[in-house]
Amino acid sequence: MSVGHMGITTEAVVGCEEHVDCGIRDVLDRIGDKWSVLVVVELAQGMRRFRQLQRAVPGISQRMLTLTVRRLERDGLLTRTVHPTVPPQVEYELTPMGHSLTRLVRALADWSLEHRGAIAVARQEWDEANPGSGIR
């Protein structure tokens, strides 16, 4: 490995003065939960209403969708617009910061698609070499 990693990582490297955690836990605490990234990915395609979001994210409950969008709104990653109509109509849309997050999420998806095969193989081999280990 070459001595100097060039490119976009300089900022993170210099910001990493004290610990191994260079703000990484901050991001993961924010989007590492079960539903946030999925909601963000759906909203990356444009404005969505509550019910639309729930249909687009298979398996999410009403409660968890509410909690997820609230937290994303709190962090400034999306906006929530209430139209005082009957029936009520609430629109969710990513902020510019939310859109910047989608680029990160895309990188995650790319990495996953690129390596999921190799990981599946590694897992199977490890499980065969370590029967009954209890590790998941």
Partner DNA sequence: CTGTATCCCCGCTGATACTG
Partner DNA sequence: CAGTATCAGCGGGGATACAG
Neighbour-count burial of 44, counting CB atoms closer than 10 A to its CB (0-12 exposed, 13-18 middle, 19+ buried): middle
Q: CB-wise, 86 or 118, nearer to a second copy? A: 118
Residue 33 sits in the site that holds DNA (CB under 7 A): yes
Q: CB-wise, 84 or 117, nearer to a second copy? A: 117
Q: CB-wise, 19 or 63, nearer to DNA? A: 63
Parallel/antiparallel/unpaired status of strands 89-94 and 48-49 = antiparallel
Question: Could you count the other beta carbons within 10 Å of the beta carbon of residue 77?
Answer: 24
Query: Per CB under 7 A, which of residues 43..72 are in contact with DNA?
Result: 49-52, 59-64, 66-67, 69-70
Residue 79 sits in the site that holds DNA (CB under 7 A): no
Residue 136 sits in the site that holds DNA (CB under 7 A): yes
N- to C-terminal Cα distance for the chain? 31
Sheet order of strands, 48-49 included = 48-49, 89-94, 78-83
Residue 124 sits in the site that holds DNA (CB under 7 A): no
Radius of gyration of the chain (CA): 19
- How near is the Cβ of 7 to DNA at its closest, in Å? 25
Residues that bind DNA (CB under 7 A): 33-35, 49-52, 59-64, 66-67, 69-70, 80, 82, 87-90, 136
